[in-house]
Amino acid sequence: MAASFEAELPSKPVQEIAQSTKEVPERFIHKNGYPQDIHDSVPLMDPLLIDLSLISTEAELQKLQFALTSWGCFQVINHGMTSSFLDEVRHVAEQFFALPLEEKQKLYLTVYPEDLRKLNFWPENLPRFREVVLEYVTNLKIMLEVILKAIARALTLEENCFLNEHGEATMIARFNFYPSCPAPQRVFGLKPHGDGTTITMLLQDKEVEGLQVLKDDNWFRVPVIPHAIFINAGDLAEIMSNGIIRTAVHRVVTNSERERISLAVFCLPNPDAETGPLNELINADRPQMYKKVKNYIELFFQHYQLGQRAIDVAKL
């Protein structure tokens, strides 16, 4: 029940609904059976920590390869941002959700390319908001490049090949707010989905767990590691890697006691560019599995609304 995809928002953001009633409106009740087993019986996954300060080492690249090919996600530590800075980012996110409704109607913030920033739409009444968010995304932009290079090396490819296929990154920030929910057994925070990104970089709530990842048809809880950034591979990483990297299908469950906040930064290629499987990863044993795609994010949203996966359309 996140204040999330515009497509999902009815007339009123969910944060407002949660403030005005304790009844869960019918449209939020999950139709195809309950989320079930959402908390206690879902096992905690291995944190899959990747130390960014050691990313050039064989050992770290091997961990990365395992994470990418078996889970499609990992958590980055030693990324150069201090814990107190990450707390500051969380703090401006909290302040953001305390703003009056009109100020936060625009929930997606394009942060790269810079000329699409439209800073005039950013909340004005939060003194540190712009500064902190811009510093955060500046760090993430650098980290994106480091990670795309590491991904190439982890798959034993020349280090620039993902970066070159990706081209100039579009990065979109979204603040997610999950109110405490009176019926957590019956309401998702976010329904199961893979992201329509190359990778997504997520700053999780420091205290409240909620994110879960699907692996071999089983759900796992993602551990909260306050100083780590959670990275999940999206459909475009799966496409570029010709299926070697798996999109991490994930969901967010709600919590009856506590609200939860997260900040997702979606990283995608320029929507006008064509993105397809790397030639290096197409061969007789592994023929091309996906078409080239363009403006994938649009395709993604069309399918998301229908509860389908856009990547199925890209499969050959």
Our finding on whether 211 is near ligand OGA (CB under 6 A) is: yes
What DSSP string describes 134-180?
HHHHHHHHHHHHHHHHHHHHHTTS-TTHHHHHH-SEEEEEEEEEE--
| Chain residue at closest Cβ approach to Ni ion | 195
| Chain residue at closest Cβ approach to ligand OGA | 262
49-51 vs 73-77, strand pairing mode? parallel
Residue 252 has phi, psi (to 5 degrees) of: -120, 130
Our finding on whether 171 is near ligand OGA (CB under 6 A) is: no
Our finding on whether 14 is near ligand OGA (CB under 6 A) is: no
For residue 196, give every residue at least 6 positions away whose Cβ sits within 8 Å of its Cβ, in sequence order, or none: 234, 235, 236, 266, 268, 296, 297, 299, 300, 301, 304, 310
Q: Which is nearer to ligand OGA, 147 or 229 (CB)?
A: 229
Residue-wise over 264-285: b if at least 16 C-beta within 10 A, else e? bbbbbbeeebebbbbebbeeee
**Least spacing, CB of residue 211 vs ligand OGA, in Å:** 4
Of 109, 148, 190, 297, the one binding ligand OGA (CB under 6 A) is 190
Return the one option of Ni ion, ligand OGA, none that residue 293 interacts with (CB less than 5 to 8 A, by type): none
Q: Which is nearer to ligand OGA, 202 or 278 (CB)?
A: 202
Return the one option of Ni ion, ligand OGA, none that residue 170 interacts with (CB less than 5 to 8 A, by type): none
Give the integer Cα–Cα distance in Å for 215 and 213. Answer: 7
Our finding on whether 195 is near Ni ion (CB under 5 A) is: yes
Name the DSSP letter for residue 25.
Answer: P
Our finding on whether 250 is near ligand OGA (CB under 6 A) is: yes
Our finding on whether 265 is near ligand OGA (CB under 6 A) is: no
Our finding on whether 262 is near ligand OGA (CB under 6 A) is: yes
Q: Which is nearer to Ni ion, 165 or 235 (CB)?
A: 235
User: Per the omega criterion (within 30 degrees of 0), is the bond before 100 cis?
Assistant: no
CA 285 to chain centre: 31
Our finding on whether 238 is near ligand OGA (CB under 6 A) is: no
Among the residue ranges 11-19, 203-211, 274-282, 287-295, the one whose residues contact ligand OGA (CB under 6 A) = 203-211
Cβ pair 275, 240 in contact under 8 A: yes
Of 202, 213, 265, 310, the one binding ligand OGA (CB under 6 A) is 202
Cβ pair 231, 202 in contact under 8 A: yes
CA 21 to chain centre: 29
Binding site for Ni ion (CB under 5 A): 195
Interface with ligand OGA (CB under 6 A): 174, 176, 190, 195, 202, 204, 210-211, 250, 252, 262, 264
